[in-house]
Structure 1
Amino acid sequence: MDSVVEISNLKKYYHSGLRGVLVNALDGISFSVKRGEVFGLLGPNGAGKSTAIKIILGLLRQNSGQCLVFGEKISSRTKSKIGYLPEAPNFYKFLTALELVVFYARMSGMGAKEAEVAAKNSLEVVGLKDALNRNLSTFSKGMLQRAGLAQAIVHNPELVILDEPNSGLDPIGMNDMANMVLRLKGEGKTVLICSHMLREVERLCDSVAILYKGSVAACGNLRELLSDTESVSFKAKNPSLEFLESVDKSAEKFGVKLETETSPESLADFFNRIILERSGR
C-alpha cells in the first residue's frame, strides 16, 4: 500500500445561522499522503485544513466522498495507528509531564510498566528528560508543544499529524522540531504537517496540498511544483552607466556579457501566487 491517507472528492458542509445558510467547508477535495513522506497541508485561515484533519482523525464525518486511512475507513484500529498534536493542546496543568504522557500511553492500550518506559523514552526524544516530574503549569508554551509531541508519538504511531507544531517555539525550538520531524521520517513514519510556516514546510515536506475556500488550489510533489515555475535573473559583468540607463536595449550593442541564472520559485511565493490567482486579485 503506497498511500497512508487517500482522500477522494471529499465534501463537508455546515448549516450556519438562523436561516441555515449552507457553508461548504470542503468542496470535493482529493489528495493522497504516501507512506514514509512528510506531507504539508497548507492554506489561509478558513481554507478547510482543520476540517480535513478532523475527518482523517475520525472526529468529523464527511457528507460525501471518501477518506481512507491505511487503506480502510476510519475505525478504532486505524485511530490506534495515528499520533496527533493539536494546534493548541489543552492539558491538565496539575499533571507532571510524565503523568501526562503515561496517561496517553495507557489510553493506547499499554500496561502500566510499558507505558512508563515508553513515556520516559518519548519525553527524552523531545528534549524534556530533565522536566519529567515538573507540573505542566510551570511549562512555557514551547515546552507544552514538546510535551504534546511526546504524547503524540508515545505509542509508536505509523502516521503522525502535527497541527501548527511550531506554535510558541523560539528559533532553537523550531529547529529542534524540524529535526524531530526528520527523525520520524527516518524511522519510516508518515508525517502530515499543517502549518503557516512556509519556510519550514519547504525545508521538510516532500509533497504539499494547498487548500483555498474548501478546494484544492495546488497539489503534488513540492520540488516539481516549484521547479515548474522558475524565475530568471540576469547578472551583467562590468556594466557601463550607459548600459544601465538603456537596459531594455540589446546587451550585445554595448559588448556586455550576460549570465543567466535560474532558480525555483520559493514556496512562499508559489503559495501567495496560487492564493491570489484563486481569489481573483
Structure 2
Amino acid sequence: MTGSLEAAAQLVAELPPAAAVWCSGLRKRYRRQIAVDDVSFSVDRGEVVGLLGPNGAGKTTCIKMLLGLVRPDAGEVLLLGRPATEPAARTRVGYLPELFRYQPWLTAAEVLDLHVKLSGVAVPAGERRETLGLVGLADRADDRVGAFSKGMQQRLGLAVALVARPELVVLDEPTSALDPLGRADVRDLLLALRQRDVAVLLNSHLIGEVERVCDRVVILDRGKVAAAGTLAELLGRTEIRLRLASVPDAAEARMAALGPVTRDGDAFTVDASLEAIPDLVADLVGLGVRVHAVEPGRISLEERLLDILRGDQE
C-alpha cells in the first residue's frame, strides 16, 4: 500500500504544471443581452495573454467570471489547476479591476497592509514597501490616498495586485490613467513577471502596449472569440511598401496580381510575401517604373484587429 502511494505521488510530481487559467464554454446572459457566448481559452504559466475587443465585447464580464465575481450561466473555469470556486485558488491571484476606489483616509502603506490581511498570505513589511517601490510609490508610502492623482491611484492598484506574491495576475485596463512613462513602467513590470513564471491576463484598449508585451492574444467580439493565437499567427500577413514614379496602368495591374493595393501619392502598399519582392521590382523596372524605395513590413496588431472585427460585422 505504501509503495502504491509513493508511486502515485511520483506520478503527480512528474505531471506538467496546470495552466494558470483554463476556461471552457463560458456563457453569460443579462436579461435579453448575451454578454459572453461559448468562450474558451487558456493562459499558461509565465505567459502574457492579451484580451482585446471593442467596447461591449464581453471582456470585463469574462474576467469577472474567471475570478468568481460573476456566476456563469454555463461553462467551467480552473485557476492554477483548481476550480475557480475554491478560495484556495483565488488566494494566489492578483487582480486590478477597471474601476476601483480605496479609502481616501488610508495611506498607501495602510492600503497594502489591509489587502495583505485579506489575502491571508504572510508578507513582511519590508516586502510590502518593495512592492510600492516597484510601481514608483516608494516615497509616497505614508501619504493619504485621497491626495493621489488618478495615475498614482492606478499605480497603487497595481501594487495591491502584486503584493501577495500571486502566481496569476489579472489586469483590467491597467494603464488607462498613466502617462507614457507610467505605461513604460507597467510594460517593464509585465516582462519581469513573465521572467518569474507569473502568468498575466491583460485587458487593454492600448493595442500598441499589448503588441509589445503579449505572447498570445484572444480577440472577443459580441461575446464570442473572433480570433486567438500568437502574434506571429495573427500577424502572418506581410506587406510591401514602395515609392514609385511614372507608374503606368500595367504596373498597377502587376502589383494587384499579388494582392490588394493601396495608394497614397507616390507610395504604394501591396499585400504580398517577402519572396515576391525581387520579381516584382524587376517587372516594375521593365515596365519603365522608377523605384525610389522598397520597404518590407508586416501589418500591425491594430490593423489585424480591425480586419477581424470588420469581417465579423460583414
Using structure 1 for the length normalisation, give the TM-score: 0.89
Find the counterpart in structure 2 of residue 234 from structure 1.
242
Deviation at residue 260 of structure 1 after TM alignment: 5.5
CA deviation string 1:59-89 (max 9, x = no partner): 1121112211112211101100100011122
Equivalent-residue separation in structure 2 for 1:42 and 1:121 (angstroms): 31
Deviation at residue 271 of structure 1 after TM alignment: 0.8
* Farther off after superposition, 159-168 or 59-68: 59-68
Find the counterpart in structure 1 of residue 153 from structure 2.
144
Find the counterpart in structure 1 of residue 310 from structure 2.
276
Equivalent positions of 1:31-46 (< 5 A) are 31-46=41-56
Q: Based on CA coordinates, which of the two structures has the bigger radius of gyration?
A: 2
Determine if the alignment matches structure 1 residue 106 to structure 2 residue 117: yes
Asked if the contact 2:104/2:146 (under 8 Å) is kept, the reply is yes
Asked if the contact 2:18/2:81 (under 8 Å) is kept, the reply is no
Equivalent positions of 1:24-103 (< 5 A) are 24-74=34-84, 75-103=86-114
Equivalent-residue separation in structure 2 for 1:109 and 1:117 (angstroms): 17
- Matched to 1:215, the amino acid is K
Determine if the alignment matches structure 1 residue 244 to structure 2 residue 255: no
From 123, 128, 132, the counterpart of 1:119: 128
Find the counterpart in structure 2 of residue 19 from structure 1.
none
Equivalent-residue separation in structure 1 for 2:104 and 2:239 (angstroms): 50
C-alpha RMSD over aligned residues: 1.8
Asked if the contact 1:84/1:161 (under 8 Å) is kept, the reply is yes
- Matched to 1:168, the amino acid is A
Number of equivalenced pairs:
266
Asked if the contact 1:212/1:275 (under 8 Å) is kept, the reply is yes
Find the counterpart in structure 1 of residue 273 from structure 2.
none
Using structure 2 for the length normalisation, give the TM-score: 0.80
- Report SS of the residue matched to 2:69: coil
- Report SS of the residue matched to 2:40: strand
Deviation at residue 4 of structure 1 after TM alignment: 1.4
* Farther off after superposition, 65-74 or 80-89: 65-74
Which 4+ stretches in 1 moved above 6 angstroms? Answer: none
- Matched to 2:104, the amino acid is K
- Report SS of the residue matched to 1:36: coil
- Report SS of the residue matched to 1:3: coil
Deviation at residue 119 of structure 1 after TM alignment: 1.6
CA deviation string 1:170-229 (max 9, x = no partner): 1111111111111111211111100000000000100010000100011011222112x2
- Matched to 2:239, the amino acid is S
- Matched to 2:229, the amino acid is G
- Report SS of the residue matched to 2:287: helix
Alignment CA distance shift 1:260-1:116 (3 Å): same
Asked if the contact 2:46/2:193 (under 8 Å) is kept, the reply is no
Structure 1 residues without counterparts, runs of 5 or longer: 16-21
Determine if the alignment matches structure 1 residue 3 to structure 2 residue 19: yes
Equivalent-residue separation in structure 1 for 2:294 and 2:233 (angstroms): 21
- Report SS of the residue matched to 1:248: helix
Equivalent-residue separation in structure 2 for 1:268 and 1:276 (angstroms): 12
Find the counterpart in structure 1 of residue 199 from structure 2.
190
Structure 2 residues without counterparts, runs of 5 or longer: 1-16, 254-282
Asked if the contact 2:242/2:291 (under 8 Å) is kept, the reply is no
